[in-house]
Structure 1
Amino acid sequence: MAAFRTLDDVDVSNKRVLVRVDLNVPVQDGKISDTTRIERIKPTITELADKGARIILLAHFGRPKNGPDETNSLKPVAEVAAGIFGRPVAFVPDCIGDVAEASAAAIQGGDILLFENTRFHNGEEKNDPEFAKALARSGDIFVNDAFSAAHRAHASTEGLAHLLPAYAGRTMQAELDALEKGLGNPKRPVVAIVGGAKVSTKIDLLQNLVGKVDALVIGGGMANTFLAAQGIDVGKSLCEHDLAETARSILKAAEQSECAIVLPTDAVVAREFKANAENQVVSVDAVPSDAMILDVGPQTVGAIAGWIDKAATVVWNGPLGAFEIAPFDKATVAAAKHAAARTTDGGLVSVAGGGDTVSALNHAGVEDQFTYVSTAGGAFLEWMEGKELPGVQVLKQT
């Protein structure tokens, strides 16, 4: 993988530094319910401030449709960010124009501004060159610290990098380093664990992985589609029967690439999808016609643990079962704890990402025991699919 320009390559003292960050945090009842994304960018902000940079934060929030609206304003985030950074964060009610430019010109080294939601302007998502130029007028240097938005060629993620000297922030750098260890240049054997509900949302992912990893563990609802494609009756389980041919083609590609496919051999089934529903463990070829698979069984968990033991690197995206409700969280929790224990012992590089994956690892209590857990969602998935991310490509050293 090509090297990227980082903060090690630039003197930021007294420079106006436009920092693209991810502040698209969840809000419930008017309050931020999870500050993880703000906490993740603290190292970059602290380093820039300590070096005397004049910091201007650029971010999107929500999905505004018709310009500015109070619901999608970043103003409430400024106070919370200030508490996490341990430094004042002044809010500016626009990201372009006279007020934004004057505010950026007036701040001193170590000061922090938060510009209003970039998506309040149509030019942001269109990557409009004129909008990018308007953003650039407030800065001397561009730092992208939002890997989670790097799969979008937007003005504040890609366009700015063509107008100002551009560098990866420390959070972006850590993510890129972790991804390189995960699939770019990993220690082998590499085992990928992929779960979730549907094959249809992860076709590109599965097709890419079978050519890159030594073993691919398939769990969650998508495993049912693979089982059905092999002629196994999965009862009333979630299953995309119309993708049987796709599943078979992935299995064939895996065979050609000498990638082992690990499918469930036993399953936890129930007749109701609810917490603590009456359930039983059956072989996957003995699923009752009126029951549904809601988790992989203990035999399968043992097989997955065996593959984790063989692995030098594990890449994980998606739960193995309906982990949100007990007792169908057991397989995901057991496998996650096993991978965490091997990582803690120093024998495994473990990289995980995707919304449900982060929630599942939190549920298992092991998120901080993995080598790296990405909160990037779509960008992490596109990276696993082998796609180039526009916001990353523009940071490569030339």
Structure 2
Amino acid sequence: MNIQALPRVDSLKIVPGDTVLARMTLDVPMLRDGERMLVTDDSRLRKMVPTLEELISKGARTVIIGHVGRPIHGKYDPEKTTEPAAIRLAQLLGKQVAYLPDWDFKTIADMLKQLPPGGLMMCPNARFNPSEQDEIVITATMSIEEVIKLQTKKRQEREAFANSLCGLGKYFIFDDAPAAWRPTNSSVNLAPMFPSDRRAIGSCCLHELELLEQLRAFTGPLILMVGGDKLDKLPLIRHFIKPGRQLILIFFGKMSFTFSAANGNDIPVDLVDQTMLQEAEDILTLAHNAGATLVLPSDYVIVSKGDLLRLMSDDLTTPNEPKVIPYGHVAYDIGHEARAAVGKIIKEAPAGAKIIWDGAPGLIISNGRYMFGALRICEALAGTKAQVNIFGGDTVGLVRSLSSLEGKENVIFFTAGGSGLAYLVNPQSWSAIQAFLN
């Protein structure tokens, strides 16, 4: 992708009082505190501050739009509002951010008229509007004509929503890297509705695009650590397996069970994703033929399924770390041998190497007490000379809560999780950015 061809915010001829519609990253971790929801990790919001400060300095009247979580079918969910993000952004900016609780465009337009130059207002969760996402509910009893009619109605509603959003700004800015690959209305359809000299990419999104391009072009020693429970990372793994490349593949978390089974190890059948077993076998064969080094857990920290909840209440004192997971038990982390092996690989990585990490090595436990694998990895990363690239909202939040890696020159925290990994495989997957180039 030609990143230099993308328009920057500083290229826009904004004058005081101009309106700007800004699609921004608002999807941040939150927890309930009594009757309120509070932001528990503001790292993504902090990366929105430079773009917002630039708009404030230009005297723009800025309307912020974004999403939080995945509300069902566009329905309101009190735990997924953008209000906590508005409150935290106001604290970070030292400036009020007016919050709009409902998708009433007359009310939004009236408030926008009253907004002073340099003012900010926050729209409701974009996904509270059914027209944000291209989803319809089709039942088995519907005829083809009924389905077509429903699709036509949905398209018209999405066009109307996009037109209403477009009317809120003279300029449009996209600064939401995590949503760049989602074909949502406010991510993909708005940019083409603005003239080319009235739209731009925000600073955070541009910076991450540059970093992702550097990773795509990198051909040196690479350590790819993948965990968690999502097997949608398989295209990423395939992408980096090249003959002759110095590649170390480290698997942990739930997905490692399927790869361990594919490697011939004894794994309880209920822990293996049978639908992905053949794909895992193919990847292992590909890695072997390419000369890649494969690292699978040699031991685990286990607990019986009946005692799993005790992890959350600090009741377990002596971890059980066998090499084989007995039936009826859950492996909630990697064992001491596996932790030592991964830590050694990380610490010995040369200065010219890069590490890509996405997905926790075990369960993410709120008290943090039993997260042995994550703690050991963070300790090793603190001493490595390699460049560390951390993806995924959960992984980034985990590392920030367990370590002091933030601020280290060789450690990069991406706001883009799955979208960043998708970009590494195929830059065309960022449809929101393609809309600026087409």
TM over 0.5: yes
State the aligned residue count: 389
Alignment of 1:134-173 (within 5 A): 134-164=164-194, 165-173=198-206
Matched with 1:88 is: 96
TM-aligned CA deviation for residue 287 of structure 1: 5.5
User: How many percent of aligned residue pairs carry the same amino acid?
Assistant: 25
Q: Distance in 1 between matches of 2:272 and 2:374?
A: 20
Using the size of structure 2 for normalisation, the TM-score is 0.77
Higher mean displacement: 106-115 or 202-211: 202-211
Matched with 1:340 is: 382
1:229 aligns with 2:262: yes
Matched with 1:215 is: 248
Amino acid at match of 1:300: A
Alignment of 1:236-247 (within 5 A): 238-241=271-274, 243-247=276-280
Matched with 1:322 is: 363
Matched with 2:140 is: none
Higher mean displacement: 383-392 or 110-119: 383-392
Q: Distance in 1 between matches of 2:434 and 2:257?
A: 37
Q: Distance in 1 between matches of 2:261 and 2:99?
A: 55
Paired residues of 1:268 and 1:328 also in contact (CA < 8 A):
no
Name the CA shift for 1:381/1:328 in 2 (closer, same or farther; >3 Å): farther
Matched with 2:233 is: 202
1:265 aligns with 2:305: no
Other structure's SS at 1:253 match: helix
Q: 1:263-306 CA deviation, whole Å, 9 max, x = no partner? A: 22344445554533644444x4x656676544333443343234
Name the CA shift for 1:148/1:213 in 2 (closer, same or farther; >3 Å): farther
Amino acid at match of 1:264: P
Name the CA shift for 1:195/1:75 in 2 (closer, same or farther; >3 Å): closer
Paired residues of 2:97 and 2:121 also in contact (CA < 8 A):
yes
TM-aligned CA deviation for residue 374 of structure 1: 2.7
Other structure's SS at 1:110 match: coil
Amino acid at match of 2:413: V
Using the size of structure 1 for normalisation, the TM-score is 0.84
Matched with 2:216 is: 184
Q: Distance in 2 between matches of 1:340 and 1:11?
A: 43
Other structure's SS at 2:22 match: strand
Matched with 1:32 is: 38
Name the CA shift for 1:209/1:336 in 2 (closer, same or farther; >3 Å): farther
Name the CA shift for 1:238/1:295 in 2 (closer, same or farther; >3 Å): same
Matched with 2:148 is: none
Amino acid at match of 1:373: F
TM-aligned CA deviation for residue 361 of structure 1: 0.9
Paired residues of 2:37 and 2:79 also in contact (CA < 8 A):
no
Matched with 1:52 is: 59
Matched with 1:133 is: 163
1:310 aligns with 2:341: no
1:389 aligns with 2:430: yes
Q: 1:13-40 CA deviation, whole Å, 9 max, x = no partner? A: 3332111113244241323132513333
Paired residues of 2:74 and 2:127 also in contact (CA < 8 A):
no
TM-aligned CA deviation for residue 255 of structure 1: 2.8
Q: 1:28-59 CA deviation, whole Å, 9 max, x = no partner? A: 13231325133331121112111222211112
Matched with 2:413 is: 373
Q: Which runs of 5+ in 1 are unaligned?
A: none
TM-aligned CA deviation for residue 340 of structure 1: 2.8
Paired residues of 2:41 and 2:397 also in contact (CA < 8 A):
no
1:362 pairs, out of 400, 404, 408, with: 400
Name the CA shift for 1:323/1:87 in 2 (closer, same or farther; >3 Å): closer
Q: Distance in 2 between matches of 1:288 and 1:76?
A: 44
Paired residues of 1:16 and 1:138 also in contact (CA < 8 A):
yes
Paired residues of 1:209 and 1:216 also in contact (CA < 8 A):
no
Paired residues of 1:208 and 1:386 also in contact (CA < 8 A):
no
Matched with 2:11 is: 9
Matched with 1:114 is: 122
Paired residues of 1:55 and 1:111 also in contact (CA < 8 A):
yes
Paired residues of 1:269 and 1:279 also in contact (CA < 8 A):
yes
TM-aligned CA deviation for residue 350 of structure 1: 1.2
Q: Distance in 2 between matches of 1:364 and 1:76?
A: 23
Q: 1:74-101 CA deviation, whole Å, 9 max, x = no partner? A: 4565444322211122334556744433
Name the CA shift for 1:386/1:56 in 2 (closer, same or farther; >3 Å): same
Q: CA RMSD in A?
A: 3.2
Paired residues of 1:333 and 1:360 also in contact (CA < 8 A):
no
Other structure's SS at 2:398 match: helix
Name the CA shift for 1:70/1:351 in 2 (closer, same or farther; >3 Å): closer
